[in-house]
Amino acid sequence: MLILGVETSCDETSASVVEDGAIVRSNVISSQVEFHRPYGGVVPEVASRKHLELINPVIEESLAEAGVGFEDIGAVAVTIGPGLIGALLVGLAAAKAIAYTLDVPLIGVNHLEAHIRANFLEDPALRPPLVALLVSGGHTILAVMDESGRLTTLGETLDDAAGEAYDKIARFLGLAYPGGPEIDRLAALGDAKKVILPRAMIDRDDYAFSLSGLKTAVLNYVSKLEKQGQEIPLNDLAAGFQAAVIDVQVAKTMRAAKEYGVKNIVLAGGVAANAGLRAALKEAADEKGIKLNAPTLELCTDNAAMIASLGYEYLKEGKTIDMTANSDANLPLSS
């Protein structure tokens, strides 16, 4: 069974053909980053327009790369939410048109659940129960998946998402957009011990996160040095910031793994590409005999392969949608 996946929730237009939920035949990702860079963040209106321009060529390319035609597609899976509403609607309209024309099932996939699913796509031997840390431009969520695959959110950020904090700090420091990879790169060159920043909520015995205080701490640190006429130690500051983010994420993820007695942890979302986070979580997990899965970069970022793959599971459960379905900008992870 070939499923065509369509993903347009944010600033990547992506289409993919996945066989039986497991074999990625194509995964075309067209990033709009260059169009949003001048603004230092994703502009929703720009994103919607670009999706409109790109959606048909990207879908055609995904079929061509897979070496198949529309007539070979058995179902269409599309991101239904969460995300930018105008962006989501472009993907949904395209998916509806294709499913209607081909007379095949239409599947509405939860984008957050799909990010977690990317781990199963890469490692077919992976089995729940597990704890998932989902960190992206829009989300910071810690969740547990039980043996049956059911997801429950344990906690999330009370203010900024992880990627949002990275991007805002990078912008403040005059670094290129998107800021996450830039800070990650500089952090590797710096010494985190030279700039100690607050680890918000690390001692609280819940799974909530907060990143806005850390952002303020960075601003205060920089303005203090500037007042003293001192140079900003960019690498050390990046390292200090990244360590503060990672310490909290690792501490809470490991605590959740202990509380729920799981032997698997998975990383998901764009920030899961962070080298520092991967290394720190791997070290902590190894120490406890826990296996850490983290998708390759292509499957960390927004992509339609994860949508098509999870769509296959939905289809097996009979979870399809009809032509009246609407996108949901605020769809939660566990619903």
Which residues, 169 to 228, sit near Zn ion by CB under 5 A?
A: none
E strand or H helix that includes residue 318: none
- Out of 4, 6, 10, 237, the residue judged to bind ligand KG4 by CB under 6 A: 10
Among 177-185, 196-204, 208-216, 220-228, the segment contacting ligand KG4 (CB under 6 A): 177-185
User: Using CA atoms, how far apart are residues 169 and 219, in angstroms rounded to an integer?
Assistant: 8
Pairing of strands 23-31, 75-81: unpaired
- Residue 221 binds which of ligand KG4, Zn ion, none (CB < 5-8 A, kind-dependent): none
Strands (E), 207-284: 264-268
User: Least distance from C-beta 320 to ligand KG4, angstroms?
Assistant: 24
Relative to beta strand 151-156, strand 264-268 is: unpaired
Which region among 29-37, 166-174, 253-261, 300-308 touches Zn ion (by CB under 5 A)? 300-308
303 binds, among Zn ion, ligand KG4, none (CB under 5 to 8 A by kind): none
Binding at 314: pick from ligand KG4, Zn ion, none (beta carbon under 5-8 Å per type): none
Q: How many residues does the chain have?
A: 335
Q: Which of 216, 178, 221, 219 is nearest to 196 (CA)?
A: 221
Place of tokens 């590409």: 273
Q: Which of 51, 302, 306, 331 binds Zn ion (CB under 5 A)?
A: 302
Which x/- pattern, by CB under 6 A, does the window 301-330 give for ligand KG4? xx----------------------------
Q: What is the largest CA-CA distance in the chain?
A: 68
Binding mask 129-168 for ligand KG4 (x = CB under 6 A): -------xxx------------------------x--xx-
Please work out the total of residues on this chain that contact ligand KG4, with binding judged by CB under 6 A: 19
Q: Does 82 bind ligand KG4 (CB under 6 A)?
A: no
Nearer to ligand KG4 by Cβ, of 175 and 262: the residue is 175
Strand partners, 108: 78
Q: Which is nearer to ligand KG4, 29 or 154 (CB)?
A: 29
Three-state DSSP class for residue 125:
coil
Distance CA 182, CA 171 (A): 10
The residue behind tokens 């994860």 is: 306
181: contact with ligand KG4 by CB under 6 A? yes
Residue type, 112: L
Does residue 14 bind ligand KG4 (CB under 6 A)?
A: no
Distance of alpha carbon 61 from alpha carbon 41, whole angstroms: 27
136 makes contact with Zn ion (CB under 5 A): yes
Q: Do the beta carbons of residue 19 and residue 34 sit within 8 Å?
A: no
Copy the structure tokens of residue 314. 């939905």
Query: What are the φ/ψ torsions at residue 100 (nearest 5 degrees)?
Result: -65, -45
Closest distance to Zn ion from the beta carbon of 25 (Å): 22
Residues 249-308 that bind ligand KG4 (CB under 6 A): 269-271, 273-274, 301-302
Judged by the rule CB under 6 A, the positions of this chain that interact with ligand KG4 are: 10, 136-138, 163, 166-167, 178-181, 184, 269-271, 273-274, 301-302
